[in-house]
Amino acid sequence: MPFLYENRQIVTPGDLLAEGDYLAAENTFRDNEKIYACRLGLVEYRGRKVQVVALNNLYFPAVEDLVIGKVVEVDLHGWNVDINSPYAGNLRASEALSRPFRPQRNELSDFLDVGDVIVAKVIAFDRTRDPSLTTREPELGKITYGQIVRVSPAKIPRVIGRKGSMISMLKNETRCNITVGQNGLISISGRSREDERIAALAIQKIEEEAHTSGLTNRVTEMIRKERSENA
Partner 1 sequence: MPKKPKLVNKKGIRTDGRKLDEIRPLKLEVGVVHNADGSAYIEQGKNKILAALYGPREVHPRHLALPDRGILRCRYHMAPFSVDERKSPAPSRREVEISKVIREALEPAIFLERFPRTSIDLFIEVLQADGGTRCASITVASLALADAGIPMKDLVVACAAGKADEHLVLDLNDIEDKEGKADVPVAYLPNFDAVALLQMDGQLTIDEFKETIDLALNGCRQIYAVQKESLKAKYLAAKEETEEVEEE
- Binding stretches for partner 1 (CB under 8 A): 10, 12-16, 27, 29, 31, 36, 38-40, 54-58, 86-88, 127-128, 152, 154, 208-209, 211-215, 218
Our CB check for partner 1 shows the closer of 143 and 215 to be 215
| Side chain identity at residue 4, one-letter code | L
Our CB check for partner 1 shows the closer of 40 and 143 to be 40
Provide, rounded to whole angstroms, the least separation between the CB of residue 147 and partner 1.
18
Our CB check for partner 1 shows the closer of 40 and 169 to be 40
- Listed in order, strand segments (DSSP E) in the chain are 10-11, 16-19, 23-24, 28-31, 34-37, 41-46, 49-54, 66-74, 78-82, 89-92, 117-126, 129-134, 141-143, 147-150, 177-180, 185-189
Provide, rounded to whole angstroms, the least separation between the CB of residue 88 and partner 1.
6
Our CB check for partner 1 shows the closer of 129 and 191 to be 129
Provide, rounded to whole angstroms, the least separation between the CB of residue 13 and partner 1.
4
Provide, rounded to whole angstroms, the least separation between the CB of residue 71 and partner 1.
16
C-alpha triplet 215, 85, 120: angle, nearest 5°: 85
3-state class (DSSP) for residue 163? helix
Our CB check for partner 1 shows the closer of 16 and 23 to be 16
Long-range CB pairs of 218-224, under 8 A, 24+ apart, other chains included: 219/166, 219/169, 219/170, 220/169, 220/173, 223/170, 223/173, 223/174, 223/198, 224/173
Provide, rounded to whole angstroms, the least separation between the CB of residue 59 and partner 1.
9
Provide, rounded to whole angstroms, the least separation between the CB of residue 211 and partner 1.
6
Residue 94: count other Cβ atoms within 10 Å of its Cβ: 13
Our CB check for partner 1 shows the closer of 58 and 148 to be 58
3-state class (DSSP) for residue 20? coil
